[in-house]
A and B are shown apart, each in its own frame.
Chain A
Amino acid sequence: MMFLKDGVTMDLLNICNINKSYDNNQVLNNVSLNLKKGEVISIIGPSGSGKSTLLRCISGLEHMDSGLIEFSGITIAEANRKFNNVEVINACKKIGMVFQNFNLFPHKTVLENIIGAPIIVNNINKKDAIDIAKNLLIKVDLLDKIDSYPCTLSGGQKQRIAIARCLAMNPELILFDEPTSALDPKLVSEVLKVIRALADDKISLLVVTHEMQFAREISDKIIFMENGEILENSTPELLFSNPKHARIKQFLNLT
């Protein structure tokens, strides 16, 4: 845990007034958000509310129009600035991301998918990388698929491999972008189980999801977004039992 002098836990992630629009469509409207180390925050809200775009800004896949993102006290993204220094690159390596449609590398086996980045990005030797990969495969309960190609796996298995691949880089924060939305309903629970285990391990998570019950159970905080704005940011108990906005009530009843 990182502590400031006054004993307040320092934010691991600090998002400050970010704005983003495509053409005339404002997708993120002055969004600010803090996440402490070990914290699990879920972002819920209707489709097109900017949830995914927010995650993509944090992971550097999208540029912002204005605002600032800090990670472990380092500015990793700022509008109209490009960061190429080692400090920022190393900080960004500590942010993992899991996608809705997995994005596994189809030409690599499960093992190769997992050990690729640790070997070429972190210069870990192959033997150690394989050991790490095997442990992670045990964790996601897919050791028997170690030499399979992704095309032979089910959606749930693919997503669990994607999570293992992300964990192999030893991230301090993992961004989940609707990790179960592309899955057959039967396969959702196996993926949620793995994510839940990460939350229990006190890995910081920022999860965009439509699984309300799941969000409620694992999150320290829930954020409700609509039209690019954060409407409410509170604890699961408060948000689900007594939301401030009528709009949230309506949304929760619908789902």
Chain B
Amino acid sequence: MIFFKGVLYLGNLIDSTTYILQGGLFTIELYIATIIFSIPLGIIGALIKVSSLKILSKAVDIYTWLFRGTPLLLQLFFTYFGLPIIGIKFSPFTAAALTFSLNYGAYFTEIFRSGIQSIDKGQYEAAKVLGMNYRQTMSKIILPQAFKRIIPPTCNEGITLIKDTALVAAIGLQDILRAAREIVTRDFTITPFFIAAILYLIFTSLIVLAFRKLEKKYSVYE
């Protein structure tokens, strides 16, 4: 009898885990899509901010002010429920990927900008007296050094993003958290929450590990 119960429990556990893992697949898809779009967005935003393009720079200011100053969930609702009212309709995944990319792009803009601006002005001067123009100075001297400095804050954002993906449950997307909660309400058991937590921990650990590798690679110079 006990043995039978045990098998049943194990079977249940495997079923739940598989179900939640399917949600995990979605979480990863959204994660990758967001990274692919938000990082280039952040690079462009940061380069505009440190440039002398006044009007564009002002526009980027407004962009980061808006997206960092309002809740991500509000932005998600706006894209998915709000925009259809004026005739712009997205699939749930597109809406999520778009909102997340714009939101994280704003954060990355500020992180990359601060990284670039943290480089000593003597580096610009040395490049200038060696005859390098602005583009050469940025690409060969400033950005490679800024890259090293933005690794830790970018890692933080990378971790936060994994957890923020849970917000998409609010627009009906089947991510890790929503899948877990469904089983909890159906079976009245607490285990799925543990499974979800473990999955999140695995993802975030992998990200931390990857960034640690990157940091190590760039630790050859001060």
A interface residues with partner B (beta carbon < 8 Å): 59-61, 89, 92-93, 95-97, 99, 101, 103-107, 116-117, 120-122, 149-151, 165-166, 169
Contacts and interface: CB of A to CB of B under 8 A. Distances in A.
A95 B130 CA distance: 8
Nearest to B147: A107
A99 to B, nearest CB: 6
Given A149-B220, A149-B221, A150-B221, A121 B126 contact: no
A165 B126 CA distance: 10
B132 A121 contact: yes
A97 B129 contact: yes
B144 interface: yes
A96 B125 CA distance: 11
B126 A60 contact: no
Contacts of A117: 127, 130-132
Contacts, number: 61
B144 A103 contact: no
Given A106-B221, A107-B144, A117-B127, 13 more contacts: A89-B131, A95-B129, A99-B126, A101-B122, A103-B126, A105-B123, A107-B148, A120-B132, A120-B136, A121-B132, A150-B222, A166-B130, A169-B131
Interface of B: 120, 122-123, 125-132, 136, 140-141, 144-145, 148, 220-222
A151 B136 contact: no
Nearest to A116: B140
A99 B122 contact: yes
A103 B123 CA distance: 6
Contacts of A107: 144-145, 148, 221
A192 B176 CA distance: 67
Contacts of B128: 59-61
Given A107-B145, A149-B221, A151-B221, A92 B122 contact: no
B222 A106 contact: yes
A103 B125 CA distance: 8
A93 B130 CA distance: 7
A96 B222 contact: no
A116 B142 CA distance: 13
A105 B148 CA distance: 13
Contacts of A106: 145, 221-222
A61 B148 contact: no
